[in-house]
Each structure stands twice: as C-alpha cells, then as structure tokens.
Structure 1
Amino acid sequence: MKLKSLIITSALLFAACGCIQAQSTQVIAHRGFWKTNGSAQNSIAALVKADSIGCYGSEFDVWLTADNQLVVNHDSTFKGVNMQKSTAQQCTGVTLDNGEQLPTLQQYLEKARSLKTRLILELKAHKTPEQETRAVEAIVKMVKDMGLDDRTEYITFSRHATKEFIRLAPKGTPVYYLEGDLSPKELKAWGCAGPDYHFSVFKKHPEWIKESHDLGMKVNAWTVNDPKDMKWLIGQGVDFITTNEPVKLQEILQ
C-alpha cells in the first residue's frame, strides 16, 4: 500500500509540475487576434479582440513614413502603397480587409490605453540606420507620452534598431532581437531581454532555451500555429509563444 501511495503521489506531483510549466507560457497574438469575424491583421479591431480573449500581448508592426510619421502595417508595400516612400496620409488612406483605415501608431496606442494586453511593438527593418534611429526616437517618445512604457515591449530584426531601443527606451524595458543568429550569451551582452526567434531555431538549438533562462532571460517563439509545435515548446518551458491561433494555444494551455 505504501508503494502504491508513493506512486500516486509522485504522479500527482509530476502532473502538477506540468500544469505549472504550461501555465507559465504566455500567449501573444501575432498581428493581433485577426482570424475572427470583423478583424484584420494589424487592425485596431485585432488589438481589441486580442485583449478580449485575455492574451498576454498583441504583436503589431510599425513603419516610418516618408514624412516621418509612424503607421501600423506589416508589409513594406500594401495594396500598392509603399510605407517608407509614401506620406502618412497616403498610407492611412488604405482600407484594411475589415473596412478599417490603416492606423497610425498614435491611433493604435490611443485605443491600447483603455485595454490591458501588453503591446509587442515590432519596428520593421528600414532602408537606412538613420531612418531606424528616427523611428526609434519617435516611438519611444510617443509610448512615453501615452503613459504606456510599462506595457510595451520592443522587437525587431534589425541589429541597429535593437541597439537603439536598448539605448533609448527606459531602463528595464524588454527589447528582443528576432533574426535568430545570435546565442543567448551574445544577446545578454547586448542588453536584450532574451531571444525572440522562429520556433525552428529552437528546434535546432533547444539548449538555447535553458541557456537563456540560466542567464535570467525570457524566451519567445514565433509564429507557432501547429498544436504539435505548441506542445513541444510548452514542454521546453518557453515563456511566450506568438501565434496566429491564440484561442487554440489557450485551449492547449488549459
């Protein structure tokens, strides 16, 4: 009987540990929660819907326009309008698939102020370092002026922009690098909060997850839509998963 009780107790403890690990993985909606009625990628509706289902964060993309304004969109050219070569007025004249106008960053942040989800702001890689520096300066100022410093995290594929966010954002603001070509030790030396890499990078280098945690850093994997990949990453103990399927991921984590 004692052996049976020990086995049962061990099984319960193992299950409990698994639940704790699963619960520690947070959900980030990639370009907002757009795979639902009335939504579209990088729309304000997608931000609101990500908040409504309780996502830890909502990721979105930012460009600096030709007249040095900030707009929210993923592609460098969208519906015939090039974000870097066009004015903000030209960019915001584009209609998204849900009927919204392409938003400025100011419009996006104004709505975010009434929500709870964290803002995972990706600055797209621009043509020149000078453009990226202007963009980072304007973004950091706008986020501060909106009172959203404590809810905003910065991500980018650009090495220059990564270092500029670390230099200009308030101390302690999470800044993540996306390219996937630097080890945890290298990211730590830069001052990054951790690796934010495509999930395939972590399948190639699973040791980077533990190395990051040992260095006191967080780990995010993107863009993870297959339940098998979600479960593998949860089992590896990643801190965040960015996905186009936030509801599916939430169900797995329950």
Structure 2
Amino acid sequence: MTSAAHPGHPYLDHPFPIPFAHRGGTAGGLENTAAAFRRAAGLGYRYFETDVHATGDGRLVAFHDPTLDRVTDARGRIGRLPWAEVARARVGGKEPLPLFEDLLEEFPAARWNVDIKAERALEPLVDLVRRANAWDRVCVGSFSESRLSRAYRLAGPGLATSYGVRGVIGLRLRSLGVPAPVRPGAVCVQVPRSQGGVPVVDRRFVREAHARGLRVHVWTVNDPESAAALLDLGVDGIMTDHLEMLRTVMTDRGAWV
C-alpha cells in the first residue's frame, strides 16, 4: 500500500498513508500540549496536527479554541490576552499551552499540519515558517479559503496548503461531474468522512483529488472500522485522537513506518 503520487512538495514525502496525531492525541485529555506531542512521538508518530491562535501581543500559541475556557483552568479569549497571562493557564490543570515556535524546535523531525484558527495568526505563522526555514515541515490548513489564499500569496509556492471549505465543495462537485472552480496551488485536501450525514469521501472523490495531484487526508477518525474502510478507498492520510488504534490498523496492513 503506497500513497498517490504527490505534486513534489517535500512535506508529503512519505511512502504510505500518513498517520496524523490529531492535536497530539486528544484521548488523554491534554490536547495540543508538548506532553501530548511527546507521547505521540514515543508511539512513532511523525506527523502532528495542531491549531494556532495569536495572543494579544502577537505570540503564536498551539491551541484549538478561541478561548481558554473549555480545556484549561483559566478563562478569557486568547486574542485579547497577553502571552504572559496565557502562559499561566494549564490544560487539564496540568500542562501549559505551548508556543508553536517551541514545538518546532523541540520536535525537529516532526511535520505539522497547522490549522489557522484566526486571521491574526496568519502573518505570524508565515513569518515563523520563514524564519525557521520550516517549508518542508508545515502544511497550513483552514476552513477559510480566502485565508489560505492569502497565506499562499504571502509565502509563495514553498508553503504547503490544503483546501478550505470552498475548495472542498468544488472538488466534491467535480467528482460528481459538475464543473466547479478550485484554487490552484494546494497540495492536499483535508476533509471529514461525511458532513451532516452526507458522504464526502468516496472513490470518486479520491479519484478526482488524485487526478489533480492532491493528497486526501481525512479527519477525525477514531474507530478501526472507519480507518480500515478509508485506507481501502485509497486515502493518503488519517487524523486520529486514538493513536494506538490507528497504529494497530496500519501495522496490521504493513503500512506503518
């Protein structure tokens, strides 16, 4: 089992479908923390999924929500707080929020799928990738197609990007034989298996993506039956919260590196 031919971006240089540790693996309750990513690395994961927000003073934090309220012992909107205050919050009452630049440094062999959760985080992320020369280690995603287009314009073709919602819809329509525009320059498409009960990923969708030189990465897959079915369809990556599960499924297929 090998992945579809990729369009030449080194981020995608992997011989089998890519296993992604979604937020480092959220099943342990310490999502998007250095501790979670250390655990994922210890299990053999080399591709991590995370999210970024910019604090009020412009520091780039790896965190999913716009506010600290859900998973930390603190409160408040990250974009309105200085880093000094955000740094005092603890995920699950235990682990600090990491700066994305610190994660890049701590895990030099890792590759990151980074979801830009807010417009204010876009330029700091592009600047960080440029300063760290991390072009082969970062793929930028977002639900917003316009945000991804702007990232691509700011960074140029050295930055790997996925499709936003508009691009996914266009690709899905094309897979059904309906002409639709899609943004050039993306290297992958990252999608749920279905949305609102409507299938997104099927053989036609995978075939259309591969015909355009795009990898298909599916989120967030947490049961072995779904993981196996998607691998049978020929998807190129799976994001999961349940790290041991996906490793077992892929190991049984001889697709774990």
TM-score grouping bracket, smaller chain normalisation: 0.7 to 0.9
Aligned residue number for residue 60 of structure 1: 50
Aligned residue number for residue 252 of structure 1: 249
For structure 2, the 5+ residue unaligned runs are 4-14, 70-74, 175-179, 252-257
Aligned residue number for residue 32 of structure 1: 24
Aligned residue number for residue 129 of structure 1: none
Give the superposition deviation at 1:35: 3.3
Contact 2:25 2:240 in 1 (8 A): no
Aligned residue number for residue 107 of structure 2: 112
- Note if 1:150 corresponds to 2:119: no
- Count residues with an aligned counterpart: 225
Amino acid at match of 2:133: G
Amino acid at match of 1:183: L
Q: Deviations over 1:123-158 (max 9, x none)?
A: 10x3xxxxx2x5222111212222322111111112
Q: Secondary structure at the residue paired with 1:40? A: coil
* Alpha-carbon distance between aligned partners in 1 of 2:201 and 2:94, rounded to the nearest angstrom: 42
- Please give the TM-score of this superposition, normalised by the length of structure 2: 0.78
Distance 1:96 1:232, change over 3 A: same
* Alpha-carbon distance between aligned partners in 1 of 2:193 and 2:81, rounded to the nearest angstrom: 34
For structure 1, the 5+ residue unaligned runs are 1-18, 127-131
Runs of 4+ with deviation above 4 angstroms: 184-188
State how 1:98-109 maps to structure 2 within 5 Å.
99-109=94-104
Q: Deviations over 1:17-41 (max 9, x none)?
A: xx457x72210010013435xx710
RMSD: 2.4
**Higher relative contact order, structure no. (Cα contacts within 8 Å, ≥ 6 residues apart):** 2
Aligned residue number for residue 222 of structure 1: 219
Aligned residue number for residue 183 of structure 1: 171
Distance 1:105 1:20, change over 3 A: closer
- Note if 1:235 corresponds to 2:221: no
Amino acid at match of 1:69: R
Amino acid at match of 1:31: R
Q: Secondary structure at the residue paired with 2:95? A: coil
Q: Secondary structure at the residue paired with 1:67? A: coil
State how 1:184-203 maps to structure 2 within 5 Å.
188-201=182-195, 203=199
Distance 1:187 1:149, change over 3 A: farther
Aligned residue number for residue 254 of structure 2: none
Contact 2:216 2:235 in 1 (8 A): yes
Give the superposition deviation at 1:170: 4.5
Contact 1:25 1:239 in 2 (8 A): yes
* Alpha-carbon distance between aligned partners in 1 of 2:56 and 2:161, rounded to the nearest angstrom: 25
In proportion to residue count, which structure has more helix? 1
Give the superposition deviation at 1:98: 6.3
Aligned residue number for residue 68 of structure 2: 78
Report the structure number with the largest CA radius of gyration: 1
Q: Secondary structure at the residue paired with 1:78? A: coil
Q: Secondary structure at the residue paired with 2:199? A: helix
Distance 1:42 1:27, change over 3 A: same
Q: Secondary structure at the residue paired with 2:170? A: coil
Corresponding residue to 1:164 among 123, 147, 150: 150
- Note if 1:91 corresponds to 2:86: yes
